[in-house]
Amino acid sequence: MPTILIVEDDTSLLVLVEAALKQAGYQTVTAGSVAQAQTIIDSAQALDLAFVDISLISQQEGGLQIGRMARQIRPNLPVLYTSGQPPADTMQAAFVQQSAFLQKPYTAQQVIGAVSALLGKR
């Protein structure tokens, strides 16, 4: 059963994404900040994908930092970025390889589909 790291500082979205993924059969671990995400990424916790909000309240482009950090420590970890704003070209250039983008607002089915598709590319 794949484990998904969810990094989202909006509690209602975090709960929605976590519930959708659990219902689809995924295990989840959650973080609400760059520091919490780093602790999880640095740990021995098994992770198969990172679901990362690009704009965290504590850090405007914290999700990009998390994606880069995750790939340094876990080179094969796919990253699914999400944001309420479409990414500018310069932001897309900062995405790690083996990643995808999901625009907010999204449905539970869109989350599951995006995660499944990204995991299927591994």
Tell me the pLDDT tens digit for each residue of 73-114.
999 999 999 998 887 776 777 888 889 999 999 999 999 999
What pLDDT, on a 0 to 100 scale, did the predictor assign at position 77?
Answer: 95
**For the segment 27-39, what is each residue's pLDDT rounded down to a tens digit?**
999 999 999 999 9
**For the segment 75-84, what is each residue's pLDDT rounded down to a tens digit?**
999 999 999 8
- Whole-prediction pTM: 0.92
The CATH code of domain 3-120 reads 3.40.50.2300
Q: Give which of 63, 12, 19, 87 is closest to 4, Cα–Cα.
A: 19
Q: Give which of 85, 80, 81 is closest to 116, Cα–Cα.
A: 80
Domain ranges for the chain, please list them.
3-120
